[in-house]
Amino acid sequence: MSQFRSGFACFVGRPNAGKSTLTNALVGGKVAITSSRPQTTRHVIRGLVHREDAQLVLVDTPGLHKPRTLLGQRLNDLVRTTWAEVDTVGMCLPANEKIGPGDRFLIKEIAALRRKPVIAIATKTDLVTPARLAEHLTEIAAAGAEAGLSWHEVVPVSAVSGEQVELLGSLLIDTLPEGPPLYPEGQLTDEPEETLIAEIIRESALEGVHDELPHSLAVVVEEVVPREDRPAEKPLLDVRANVYVERDSQKGIIIGKKGARLKQIGIDSRSQIERLLGTPVHLDLHVKVAKDWQRDPRQLRKLGF
């Protein structure tokens, strides 16, 4: 009988390389927020992949980037500590983009880890032709060699079409040490519900806003309480959350004309929160200004960074 394996793996890659989408595809449930805007992941969200003979814990790190603010610096430190603690690293390199200086910088950083299996993952293969993919795989091999990194495996995947996602899961599991499961079966993530709710609201708020906003947005869930005087078969949860921005002008963008935008954010996120919690939800959203919070250590702490 083969021994049970369990351990941690993390995906790295520059912002927007498809890390969160891949985490969601492997876990089979929505645990990491996926938005078309780079730099949306701020928390280390762990997704759990359960198999008969293994448990893989996926740690989703923020993209490593050249920091311009204190928040940026903290995120980068977080990434490096995560790398040091996992069993395996998966490097995401989107097939629809050339390998650039940002990728080479990351590959060099990872090469310094030594003695840790690093799997190169060619993501977004559904967006390219077979000829372009072949070219991309050659570039990946060359980039590894240049940094003195010998890839443990090179796997093309499409999280969107599901192509080779199972295979990637198996390859990651093969690199894990033998050991008992680390989490109860059936659990998808070890993040507290408040964090997941905040992430859902932030994702809804990011949809369709202008580029100046993503970094300036933070969501804090103030409370999740069952509504009193409700019959047991008709529960209702009251969720109160604050959306923080850095400037008054941004507050206007989030609220929208006659509050239309905020209302839409509420509708979009409520249905997802209800799916997450399995209960009807009354969502109370407020938009607040926390001046220049990304540069202020006190505010960063208050907003959970």
Flag whether 64 is marked binding: yes
Annotated binding residue at 189? Answer: no
* 19 in a labelled binding site: yes
**60 annotated ligand binder:** yes
* Helical pair 260-277 and 193-206, crossing angle rounded to 10 deg: 150
Answer yes or no: is 14 a known binding residue: yes
CA–CA–CA angle 63, 25, 72 (5° rounding): 15
Whole-number Å distance between alpha carbons of 24 and 27:
5
- Residue pair 287/251 in contact (Cβ under 8 Å)? The answer is yes
State yes or no: 16 annotated in a binding site: yes
> Is 17 labeled as ligand-binding?
yes
156 known member of a binding site: no
> What is the rounded distance in angstroms from the CA atom of residue 252 to the CA atom of residue 295?
22
**Maximum Cα–Cα distance for the chain, whole Å?**
66
88 is in an annotated binding site: no
In DSSP notation, 129-174 reads -HHHHHHHHHHHHHHHHHHT---SEEEE--TTT-TTHHHHHHHHHH
Tell whether 190 is in a known binding site.
Answer: no
Residues 6+ apart with CB under 8 A from 64: 12, 14, 76, 79, 80, 105, 106, 109
223 within 8 A of 192, measured Cβ to Cβ: no
Contacts of 271 by beta carbon, 8 Å cutoff, 6+ apart? none
| Calpha distance 165→70 (Å, rounded) | 36
Q: Which residues 6+ apart lie within 8 Å of 66 measured at CB?
A: 72
Is 69 annotated to bind a ligand? Reply is no
To the question of whether residue 124 is assigned a binding role by annotation, the answer is yes
The answer to the question of whether 13 is labelled as a binding residue is: yes
Specify binding-site residues for GTP.
13-20, 60-64, 123-126
Q: Which residues are annotated as a binding site?
A: 13-20, 60-64, 123-126
